[in-house]
Amino acid sequence: MYKFEKIEHYIKFPCMVPFIGQNYIHPRHKKLLVVGESHYLSSESAIHLDDKEWYSIDQRKLTEKEVGWIDPNEIITYGIDTNFSDKGLKIYHEIAQCLNDVLFKHQEWHEVIKSIHHISFINYFQRPAPQGKSLDPTEKDIQVSADIISSVIKILDPDLIAIVSSKSASYFAPSLVHLKIPYCITPHPACAWWNRKAKKYGDRNGYEMLKNFLLTHWIV
C-alpha cells in the first residue's frame, strides 16, 4: 500500500522506512504523521559521523545492532513489548500517553501504549546522530531530509502533522506552509520543556501543546 521502495534512501536503508501504525487510518480520527528529530547510533559506531560516508553506503555496511538502532518499526515494536520502559523510548511513551488522554481514555498501561498504533512516525533527519547528542546537520543532511519528508508526505497523505522537535521544525516548517496541512510544533518529549511551561510557548509545556492540537484537529 505504501511504496517507500521508490525513495532512493529507503532502497539503500529499508530499515529506516517510517513506522505506520495499524490504525493510522481509523474512523475515529484523522491521519496523523508525527515527526521527530533523528535516530542515533551508539558510541561504538563511527560510520555515521561523516555525512559523505553515510550517504555513500547502504544498509549492508551496518551491523545487525546498528540496523536495529535506526529501524523505527523495530524500535516501536520493542517499546510496546517492554511498555516503553527504556529511557531512550521516552518520545514514544509520551506520544502514546497524549493520544490516549485525548481519545481512548484507557486506564491500563498495556492498553495506553497501543495508542501509538494510531499514528505514523518518521524522524526528520535521515543520518543518525552520535549517541547522547543532537545532530549538527550539514547541507547534505538538510537536502536529503527535505526531499525524503516531501516524498513520505505524498505517500502517507496525512491530514495533520505534529513536529515534536524544535530543531526539526526549524528546517521543516517553512515548507509546510505550501502544503496547507494543519500542523503543530512542540519541544522534544525527552527535553525539560515537554513538562515545563515556558512563556515562549504561551505558558504551556510541550505535552499541553500537542494535546491541544489533537483535541482541536485530530478527532473526527
pLDDT in tens, 24-79: 999 999 999 999 999 999 999 999 999 999 999 999 999 999 999 999 999 999 99
Per-residue pLDDT of 120-176, as tens digits, reads: 999 999 999 999 899 999 999 999 999 999 999 999 999 999 999 999 999 998 888
Phi (first) and psi of residue 161, to 5 degrees: -135, 130
Say how many domains are in the chain. Answer: 1
The answer to whether residue 177 scores a pLDDT higher than 90 is no
Strands (E), the chain: 19-20, 32-36, 40-41, 120-123, 129-130, 160-163, 183-185
The CATH number of residue 98's host domain is 3.40.470
How many helices and strands in the chain, by DSSP H and E? Answer: 9, 7
- Give the domain extent around 134: 4-217
